[in-house]
């Protein structure tokens, strides 16, 4: 029996909720988010995903307001995550977990993830005995299903799944742009999960918006195939069509995105083999267009000593935009970077952030 109780594959990711002030990621627009949650549930979807650090540590608080306080517990399933990069010692695991229960207002989590496993922090998770700690929470009924999210290569994924067969699911970054990527290894990681018979939850299906505003030739190719379907629908349906993918997370930021996503995922029809190949071709066409492969997760901003709006500066650079001062906002400029490396240590995409900030500074300053 599947651990995913809904037959609908779309999950509501709360990493990119609507904001009242676009320059402040903690200024979540609760009223608009409530309307989005209502529509999501009305269309029969139930899976919600949050994490300790999302929206400057405010996402879990928002989930309580927009979901938990407004719906009976059986109306939804909730996932959240523990990240070793945001604690100073092993004892803080328990503090984080108890705070997460309090912030979200639930008595248990349907899905709990050991978050962002990669080569740099896997050893730290083992040192902190995070897997056994989480298993104990599951034994006590505080976690229903236990898994982990992953940002590294297929070789390490095979090692983790071999050493931890108790993991019930894995969350992977999969999209048609990263399908054959040497860095992300979407296809190879997906194949490893299949080999271990571990179901997959997909994150970053549109790669932080990179597969929404695609080059004109790619847009024309998709539009010629179907003028009725949105461009991002191709990215989400591509990953949802993979047999071992059980849930696809979308970080929806407005009602327009919500209505679009639920419209084609409510009665989801997998892509044909020809359509899957079309998406892979699109990935090859786009790959040379993106200068900085940032997904806009904002993990890097929370600890930046100069409060540099790194994802916004990178988005401006990729789009060849001109309003640099608006992107900077109240934070530091790209040239203010002191090379502390905090951003690179926490970046799920393993980007050379400080080098890219130099590129931004050269172009705009």
pLDDT in tens, 109-164: 999 999 999 998 999 999 999 999 999 999 999 999 999 999 999 999 999 999 99
Residues 6+ apart with CB under 8 A from 337: 306, 308, 354, 357, 358
Measured between alpha carbons, how far is 249 from 128 in angstroms, rounded to an integer? Answer: 28
Give the separation between CA 355 and CA 99, rounded to whole angstroms: 36
Residue 94 CA: distances (Å) to CA of 58, 81, 87, 256, 259: 19, 13, 10, 38, 38
Instruction: Supply the pLDDT for residue 299.
Output: 79
Read off the tokens for 106: 């639930």
pLDDT value of residue 350: 76
CA distance 314 to 263: 31
Report whether pLDDT(325) > 90.
no
End-to-end CA distance of the chain: 57
Q: Alpha-carbon distance 114 to 81, whole Å?
A: 6
Q: What average pLDDT does this structure show over 344-355? A: 82
Residue 117 DSSP code:
E
- Percent of the chain's residues with pLDDT above 90: 75
Whole-Å CA distances, 262 to 47, 67, 163, 164, 331: 13, 18, 37, 34, 36
DSSP 86: G
In three-state secondary structure terms, 337 is coil
The listed range with the strongest mean pLDDT (242-251, 298-307, 338-347) is 242-251
Q: Where do we find the tokens 């949650």?
A: 37
Give the helix/strand (H/E) hosting 177: none
CA angle 304, 94, 112 (to 5 degrees): 80
Burial track 124-147 (b if 16+ CB lie within 10 A, e otherwise): ebeebebbebbbebbeeebbbbbb
If you average pLDDT over residues 272-296, what whole number do you get? 88
* Angle in degrees, CA 234, 236, 177, rounded to 5: 75
Rounded to an integer, the average pLDDT of 182-192 is 96
* Under 8 Å between Cβ of 275 and 225: yes
Between 35-49, 111-125, 191-205, 300-314, the lowest mean confidence (pLDDT) is in 300-314
- Alpha-carbon distance of 313 to 338, in angstroms, equals 16
Q: What is the pLDDT of residue 312?
A: 85
What is the average pLDDT score of the chain? Answer: 93
Torsion 54-57-58-63 (CA) sign: positive
Q: Which tokens go with 223?
A: 């539009």
Strand runs (DSSP E) across 83-206, as ranges? 109-117, 143-150, 169-173, 200-203
Q: What is the pLDDT of residue 1?
A: 67
Spacing of C-alpha 30 from chain mean position: 20
pLDDT for 297 equals 80
- Residue 267: its pLDDT value, please? 95
Residues 77 and 48: beta-carbon distance below 8 Å: yes
């Amino acid at each position: 029996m599947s651990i995913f109780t809904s037959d609908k594959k779309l999950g509501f990711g709360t990493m990119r909720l609507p904001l009242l002030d676009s320059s402040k990621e903690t200024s979540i627009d609760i009223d608009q988010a409530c309307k989005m949650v209502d529509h999501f549930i009305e269309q029969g979807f139930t899976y919600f995903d949050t994490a300790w650090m999302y929206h400057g540590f405010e996402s879990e608080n928002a989930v309580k307001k927009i979901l938990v306080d407004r719906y009976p517990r059986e109306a939804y399933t909730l996932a959240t995550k523990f990240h070793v990069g945001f604690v100073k010692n092993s004892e803080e695991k328990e503090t984080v977990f108890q705070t997460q229960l309090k912030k979200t207002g639930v008595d248990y989590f349907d899905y709990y993830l050991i978050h962002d496993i990669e080569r740099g922090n896997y050893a730290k998770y083992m040192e902190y005995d995070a897997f056994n700690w989480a298993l104990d929470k599951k034994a006590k009924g505080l976690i229903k299903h236990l898994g982990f999210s992953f940002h590294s290569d297929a070789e390490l994924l095979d090692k983790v799944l071999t050493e931890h067969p108790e993991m019930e699911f894995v969350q992977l970054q999969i999209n048609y742009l990263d399908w054959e990527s040497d860095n992300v290894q979407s296809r190879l990681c997906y194949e490893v999960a299949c080999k271990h018979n571990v179901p997959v939850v997909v994150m970053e299906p549109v790669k932080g918006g990179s597969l929404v505003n695609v080059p004109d030739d790619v847009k024309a190719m998709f539009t010629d195939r179907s003028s009725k379907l949105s461009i991002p629908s191709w990215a989400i349906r591509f990953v949802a069509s993979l047999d071992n993918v059980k849930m696809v997370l979308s970080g929806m930021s407005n009602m327009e995105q919500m209505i679009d996503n639920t419209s084609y995922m409510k009665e989801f029809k997998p892509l044909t083999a020809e359509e899957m190949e079309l998406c892979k071709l699109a990935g090859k066409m786009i790959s040379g267009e993106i200068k900085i492969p940032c997904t806009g997760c904002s993990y890097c901003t929370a600890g930046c000593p100069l409060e540099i709006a790194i994802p916004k500066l990178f988005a401006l650079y990729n789009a060849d935009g001109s309003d640099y001062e608006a992107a900077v906002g109240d934070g530091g400029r790209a040239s203010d970077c002191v090379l502390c490396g905090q951003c690179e240590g926490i970046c799920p995409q393993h980007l050379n952030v400080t080098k890219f900030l130099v590129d931004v500074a050269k172009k705009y300053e």
